[in-house]
Amino acid sequence: MSATPVARQLVLGPSLGRATLVLSAGVGLLAVVSLAAVAFGTTGVGPGEAATILVHRVLGIGSVSWPASSETILWELRLPRVAAGIIVGAGLACAGTVFQALLRNPLADPYIIGTAAGASFGAVSALLLPAVLPIAVGAWLGLGMIQLLAFAGALTTVAVVFAVARGRSGTPVIALLLAGYAISSLLAAGVALLMFLSGDRLMAVVTWLLGSLAGASWPRLAIAAPLIVVSFTLLLLRWRTLNALLLGEQAAAHLGVELEREKRILAGLAALATSAGVAISGTIGFVGLVVPHLLRLAFGPDHRLLLPATMVYGAALLVLADLGARMAGGIPVGVVTALIGAPFFLWLLRRSLVAHAR
Amino acid sequence: MAPHRLLAPLVVLCLALVACAGPAGTSSPSAPGAGTPTASPSTASSPASLFPLTLTDDAGREVLLEASPERIVSLAPSNTEIVCALDACDRLVGVTDFDDYPPQVLEIDKVVVAAAVDVERVVAAEPDLVLAAGNELTPSTVIAQLDDLGLTVLVLYPETLDEVYADIELLGRAVGNPDAAADLVAGMEQRVHAVVEAVEGADRPLTLYEVFHGEGTTYTAGEGSFLASLLDLAGAEPLTGDAQGLLTPEALVAADPELILLGTASYDPSLADPGTALETVAARTGWSELRAVRDERVVPYVEDIVTTRPGPRIVDGLEALARAIHPDRFDAAP
Amino acid sequence: MRAEREGTPALRLSGLAAGYRAADGDRSVLAGVSLEVAAGELVALLGANGSGKTTLLRVIGGVLEPRAGVVELFGRPLGAWSRRELARAVAVLPQSTELPDGFRVSEVVNLGRIPHARRAFAADPDDTRAVAAALRDADAEELAGRPVRELSGGERQRVLLALALAQEPRLLLLDEPTLHLDLAHQLGLVQLLRRLRLTRRVTVIAVLHDLNLAAGLADRVVLVQDGRVVPAGRDGRVIDPELARAAFGVAIEEAVTGDGRRVLAPMLRPPRP
C-alpha cells in the first residue's frame, strides 16, 4: 500500500537525523569538556604535557620526558575524576528522567524515593564507626566502608519505601512519593543526630553530603561503573514504557505496560544507578533534576531521544561543574551544580509560566 | 532535597567545631599512640646512618623512610612549625594556607587551600614525606588516597605535652636531626617547669577559656583535652564542657567560673579592649551574674593560636596562659 | 492470529462480580453480570451514576480483576491474555482528555503503536500506515502536525480516539465519550463511530449517558442496574421507556418527532400514579 501524502509527512517521533544531531552535539560537548578537564587543573600539568602523557600511556608512543608526578596527576587523579564525572553525571541525569516519568512529578529527582537519605545515613554511619568491621573485604574491592554502606543504605531505603507504599492493589505513585518523603525525613534526622555527635568528624560528613568527585579512583570506578552502565542499557531499552507512562498509569496499562512489574524495574534500575553514583561521589544535587527538564524543553519529551540525551548532557554538565569547582579552589561540586542549576531552573520556570499564560 | 535541607541549620555547628581546636573528641580509627621508633639504629649522629628507618606514627601506622626526606609537605601548621624548629624549613615544599610561622613559610607553595587538601598539588610537589594531621583534621579518605598513590605519609596528632615532645622527637628522627629535637624538647620542658614553679601555691581559679561563642552556645576546653591540661599546668582549675567542648548555659551558670579568658579575642577585634569585652560578655543572657563578670575578671586573650597549635610554640601558649591567669606571679611581659 | 470459530462472541461475561476494596470492607459494584457481545456489534451501556458502568469497562479492559465469574475475549479467558496481547486487541478511549505536553498529535497517536513494537529502538514499518489510518478514521488528519497544547477539548478527544485506533484493536471501549462535548461534537462523534464500523472490523462497547444518542448509535443498548446488566430494549425498540425508568429512577416519556423518529425524554414531573 503506498503511503498517502499525509503519511509521508507524518512525524512519529524524533527523526534519525535529528537524534544523530542532538546526540553528536552532546558527545562533542562531552568530549571537549572532558579534554579540558583532563588538560587543566590546579597544578602545572597543562594540555600539552597531558596530551603527550596520554599518547604515551595509551598508545605507547613517545619517550618519557616528564616527571613521574605529572603522570600520577594525570592518570591517577584527573582521569579517574573525569571518568567519574561522566559516569555519575550520566547516571544521575538518567535516573532523574526516569523518576520524573515514573512519578509524573516535575520536581522528582534521583533522590526522591530515599536514595540520598539512605546513602547519607550509611556513609555518615561509616564515617563515625571505628574501623573494627571487616573492611578487608571493602579494601579488596577497592571500596571503603563509606562507599559500601552508602550503596547499601541507598538500595535498602528504596526497598523499604516500596514496601511501605505497597497497597492492596499495587503501588500508587502518590504513596511512593509520600513514603519516600517521610522515610527520607526520618533518615535525615538520623543523619543530623549523627552529625551532632560526630564532633571533629563533622567536616568530613559535611563534605561527603555536599558531594565531591575528589575521591574518584580506578578501583572504585571499576565497581560502580559497570552497575551504572548496566542500568543505563536496561533503561534505554525501556523508552517506550516511559513514553506510555506519560499518558498516565491506566492508559499505559491499556497500551500493554505491566504496571507493577515495570514500576519496580524502572525504579530499581534508576535507584541502582543513583546508589552507585552516590557511593562514588556523595549526594550531588541538581544534575538529576535540571538536566531532564532542560533537555525536554529543548528536544521534546519523547524518551527515545530524551533518555540518551540526558545521559550525554548530564555527563558533560558534571564534568564541567567539577572543572569549575576544582579551579575555584576545591569547592564542593554540588555547590557549582546548584549555582548553574538553580538559575537555569528558575529561568525554565518563568518561561513555562509565561508560555502557559498565553 | 535532603542534603540541602541539612546544610543550613548545621553550618553553625560546623563553624563551632572547626574553631574548637584540640578537644579530645571521638577516638580516631586506630589506636592513638605517641610516635615511637620501633627499629632505629644506634645513636650515631651522622644523618646517613640513621636510614632506612621505620617509624610508628600517632595513628599507629608503621611508616618506612628509606632515606632522609628532602621534600616535605606539611598538611597542618603545627607540623610545619616542628619541621622548621628542627632546622629543616628549607626542605618544605608544600604547606597549608593557614601556616604563618615562621614567616618564611608564607612563601612556600600551598597544597591545602581553605582547609581542603588539593591532592593534585600534593603530588605535583613530589614529596618524599607528607606530614598529615590526625583525628580527621586531614580526612582519613585523603590519607588513604595519598597512601594509594604511593606517597609516604606520617600522621601526627599529639593530645598532651608529652605527646608533643614525642612527635618532635619522631620528626627529629625522620628528618635526620635527632639532636636538634632533643635540644628543643629539653628547652620546652625547662620552660614548662619554670611556669609550674612560678604558679605553685597560688589560688587556682575556676577558669572558663572561651573557644567560641555564638547563638547562646559556648565552646570551651573539652573534658580531658589538651587545652584543659594546659590550663591546669598554668595554675587554673579548667571549666570544661563535654567531650567536644560544648558548654550549656545552665552548666556555665551552675559552675560559675571566677575567671574568663576570651580566646575569641584572638580573632574578634571588638573584644580586644578589656572594657568593651566585659560589657559584651555581661550583656549575654545569664552571664552578668557570673563571679568572673561581677569581679571584672574577664580577660581578652590574644594568644589563642599558639595555645591551640600543638607544636613547638605550645609552650609560648602555656606561658601566655599563666601570665593571664596569675599576672602577679610574673614580671612585666618580656 | 488465533483461529476463532465464526460466531465467537467478541465478549462474553458470565456471573461476573467485581468491586473495590474500601477501608470499611469491600464494596461490590457488580454482582452476577452476564453479557454477550457479538463481533462487530456496537453496544451502548447506560446506567445511573455509580451503577458500575466504568467498573465494567475496567474489567473488560483488564485493569480490574474480577472477584468471580467468567470474562472471555474472542473466546479466550481474560487471564490467558498477556498484557501486550490484550493491548493489541482492546483499546480504550478514556474519559479524561489530558494529553502529555510537548508532543505533536502524530507523536501521541504513535504511542498507540507501542503494543505492536517489535524492535528495540527502530520504529515498526507498519507504524506510519497505522497512524495515518487512525488519524483519518478519527477525523483528525488535519491535526497531525499540531502541538497538543494548542488543542481544544473536542480535538483532544479525537486525538485520543486516533491513539486507540492506532492500536488496531478488535474491541474498542469508549468511556463516556460525549461527556464534555457540545451538541455539534456529540453528533460528530456519532457519525465518526458509524463511519468507523464501515472502515474497520471492530466491536465497540460505549458507555453513554444520553438515551437518544445511544438509541441512535447502537445496535443494542443494555442497562447496568443493581449490579447486573439487563437489556434496555423490548419488542423491537432499542430502548424501552419502562425499562429505562426502572434503571434511572426517573419517568421517561416517548415522543415522536415530525419526521417519525422516536425520541425519549425524561419528564420533569413524575406521572400521576
Closest by Cβ to C111, choosing from A253, A255, A296: A255
Which residues in C118-136 are b (16+ Cβ under 10 Å) and which e? eeeeebeeebbbbbbbbbb
pLDDT tens digits for A166-222?
887 788 888 999 999 999 999 999 998 888 777 666 777 777 788 888 888 888 898
Residues paired with C31 in a beta bridge: C17
pLDDT tens digits for A266-290?
999 999 999 999 888 888 988 999 8
Residues B84 and B189 in one domain: yes
**pTM for this entry:** 0.83
pLDDT tens digits for A306-330?
999 999 999 999 999 999 998 888 7
Chain-chain contact of C102 with A301 (C-beta, under 8 angstroms): yes
Structural domain span for residue B180: 7-17+49-195
Mutation test of the interface with chain B: which of A53, A157, A200, choosing the one with the most B Cβ atoms within 10 A?
A200
Chain-chain contact of B119 with A202 (C-beta, under 8 angstroms): no
Residues B174 and B294 in one domain: no
Residue B248 covered by a domain: yes
pLDDT tens digits for A60-117?
887 778 888 888 888 888 999 999 999 999 999 999 999 999 998 888 899 988 998 9
Q: Which pLDDT does position B326 carry in this prediction? A: 94
Q: Give the gap in angstroms from C-alpha C75 to the nearest C-alpha of chain A.
A: 20
Question: Domain tally for chain B?
Answer: 2
Residues B152 and B13 in one domain: yes
Q: Give the gap in angstroms from C-alpha A165 to the nearest C-alpha of chain B.
A: 20
Q: Which residue of B has its CA nearest to A203?
A: B14
Residues B301 and B177 in one domain: no
Residue B2 covered by a domain: no
Chain-chain contact of C131 with A4 (C-beta, under 8 angstroms): no
pLDDT tens digits for B125-146?
999 999 999 887 888 888 988 9
Residue B69 covered by a domain: yes
Residues B139 and B263 in one domain: no
Q: Which pLDDT does position A158 carry in this prediction? A: 93
Tell me which long-range contacts C149-158 makes (C-beta under 8 A, separation of at least 24): C149/C101, C149/C102, C151/C99, C151/C105, C153/C97, C153/C180, C153/C181, C154/C181, C154/C182, C154/C185, C154/C188, C156/C97, C156/C98, C156/C99, C157/C93, C157/C97, C157/C181, C157/C185, C157/C189, C158/C192
In chain A, the domains with their CATH numbers are 45-357 (1.10.3470.10)
Closest by Cβ to A11, choosing from C87, C106, C121: C106
Residues B210 and B94 in one domain: no
Length of chain A: 358
C103 touches chain A (CB under 8 A): yes
Residue B147 covered by a domain: yes
Q: Is the peptide bond before B37 cis (omega within 30 degrees of 0)?
A: no
Q: Where do the DSSP E strands lie in C126-261? A: 171-175, 203-207, 220-225, 228-231, 252-256
B36 touches chain A (CB under 8 A): no
Closest by Cβ to B114, choosing from A131, A214, A330: A330
Q: Bigger pLDDT: B13 or C21?
A: C21
Q: Give the gap in angstroms from C-alpha C9 to the nearest C-alpha of chain A.
A: 21
The alpha-helical segments, DSSP class H, found in A218-258 are: 218-236, 239-245, 249-254
Place of cell 498484557: C83
Residues B141 and B73 in one domain: yes
For residue C76, is it left (φ>0), alpha (ψ between -120 and 50) or beta? beta
A13 touches chain C (CB under 8 A): yes
Length of chain B: 334
pLDDT tens digits for B188-241?
999 999 999 999 999 999 999 999 988 778 999 988 899 999 999 999 999 998
pLDDT tens digits for B62-97?
999 999 999 999 999 999 999 999 999 999 999 999
**C-alpha dihedral, B103 to B107 to B111 to B116, nearest 10°:** 50
Residues B191 and B219 in one domain: no
Residue B37 covered by a domain: no
Let me know if B240 is exposed, middle or buried by CB neighbors in 10 A (0-12, 13-18, 19+). Answer: buried
Residues B175 and B81 in one domain: yes
Q: Bigger pLDDT: B118 or A126?
A: B118
Q: Which pLDDT does position C212 carry in this prediction? A: 86
Place of cell 593560636: B305
Residues B242 and B147 in one domain: no
From chain C, the residues in CB contact with A247 under 8 A are 99-100, 111
Per the CB < 8 A criterion, the answer to whether B162 and B288 are in contact is no
Q: Which pLDDT does position A251 carry in this prediction? A: 94
Select from B195, B214, B249 the last residue of a domain. B195
B126 touches chain A (CB under 8 A): yes
Residue B334 covered by a domain: no
Chain-chain contact of C128 with A3 (C-beta, under 8 angstroms): yes
From chain A, the residues in CB contact with B60 under 8 A are none
Looking at every residue in chain A, the average pLDDT score rounds to 86
Q: Which residue of A has its CA nearest to B245?
A: A199
C-alpha atoms less than 13 angstroms from C-alpha of B315 in its C-beta half-sphere:
19
C-alpha atoms less than 13 angstroms from C-alpha of B313 in its C-beta half-sphere:
18
Q: Bigger pLDDT: B5 or C232?
A: C232
Q: Where do the DSSP E strands lie in C165-259? A: 171-175, 203-207, 220-225, 228-231, 252-256
Residue B34 covered by a domain: no
Q: Which chains touch C (3 or more CB pairs under 8 A)?
A: A
Q: Give the gap in angstroms from C-alpha A322 to the nearest C-alpha of chain C.
A: 32
Task: Check pLDDT > 70 for residue A13.
Answer: yes
Q: Which residue of A has its CA nearest to B134?
A: A200
Select from B143, B178, B195 the last residue of a domain. B195
pLDDT confidence band for A140 (50 / 70 / 90): very low
Q: Give the gap in angstroms from C-alpha A106 to the nearest C-alpha of chain C.
A: 12
Looking at every residue in chain B, the average pLDDT score rounds to 84
The ipTM value here is: 0.89
Select from B165, B195, B225 the last residue of a domain. B195
Residues B187 and B214 in one domain: no
Residues B102 and B173 in one domain: yes
Residue B32 covered by a domain: no
CATH number assigned to the domain comprising residue B313: 3.40.50.1980
